[in-house]
Structure 1
């Protein structure tokens, strides 16, 4: 994919990712390593949980999947360097969910002190196969101009 630079970007541009299939095994594997709570690792405990009422993926796993899908669908030169984010989990992810991300640039500004770079604000919704929003995020990302030398 062609790398995107500051000059290639504009407020209102939209990006759609490919898909990621979440399985029970992936949920449990991620949880065992990074978020070992019963509602992410054990079906019986998850069914008894008053909020989840069934096995649910970690919100941090959803965020990591979102990042993976961004990298594959939004090829910013120099990589996606986050400068802060507001993340909201709207619904739990479940085994057999197929996730995708829809993003829109909502703000773009070139740096006054470093004119070879700028910052964009990207609003994203991570959705499941039923088009239900499981995560929303507003993220600031550093972007480079074409004359920066960044590839």
Structure 2
């Protein structure tokens, strides 16, 4: 994909990612390494949990999947460098969920002190195969102008 620069972007532009299928093995491997809680690792414990009532992926795994899908669908020159985010998990992810991300640029500001760069605000929803939002995020991302020399 061709790299995107500040001049290529505008408030209101939308992006849709490809899909990612979450498996039970994915959930348990991620949880084992990064979020080892029973409702992410053990089917029986997850079924008895009052909130999840079944095996649930870590919210941090959902955030990581969202990042992967952004990188694949939103090729900003210089990479996706974040300057802060607000993340909300709306519902748990489950084995066999097929996730995609829909994003919209809601703000774009060129830097006054560094005119070869700017910050965009990206509102994103990570959505499962049932069209249910599992995560929402508002993220500030550094973007470079075409004359910055950044590839």
**Does the TM-score normalized on the shorter chain lie above 0.5?**
yes
How many angstroms apart in 2 are the aligned matches of 1:11 and 1:40? 38
CA distance in 2, matches of 1:121, 1:96: 31
1:45-56 to 2 correspondences below 5 Å: 45-56=45-56
Gaps of 5+ in 1: none
- The CA deviation at 1:40 is 0.1
Residue 66 of structure 1 aligns with which residue? 66
Q: Which runs of 5+ in 2 are unaligned?
A: none
- In structure 2, the partner of 1:22 is 22
How far apart, CA to CA, are the structure 2 residues paired with 1:2 and 1:25? 34
Distance between the aligned counterparts of 2:129 and 2:47, measured in 1? 22
Structure 1 match to 2:110: 110
Tell me by how many angstroms 1:7 deviates: 0.2
TM-score, normalised to structure 1, is 1.00
CA shift, 1:36, in A, is 0.1
Q: Which runs of 4+ in 1 moved over 3 A?
A: none
User: Is 2:44 the counterpart of 1:44?
Assistant: yes
In the alignment, the residues of structure 1 paired with residue 103 and residue 130 of structure 2 have an alpha-carbon distance, to the nearest angstrom, of 17
Specify the alignment match of 2:4 in structure 1. 4
**CA offsets, 1:86-112, max 9 Å, x none?**
000000000000000000000000000
Matched residue, 1:83 = 83
SS at 2:150's partner residue? coil
1:102 is paired with a residue whose SS is strand
Q: What secondary structure, in the 3-state scheme, does the structure 2 residue paired with 1:31 have?
A: helix
Is 1:34 the counterpart of 2:46? The answer is: no
Computed over aligned residues only, the root mean square deviation of the Cα atoms, in angstroms, reads 0.2
Question: Deviations 1:98-128 (Å, cap 9, x if unpaired)?
Answer: 0000000000000000000000000000000
State the distance in 2 between where 1:66 and 1:23 align. Answer: 15
1:53 offset after TM fit, Å?
0.2
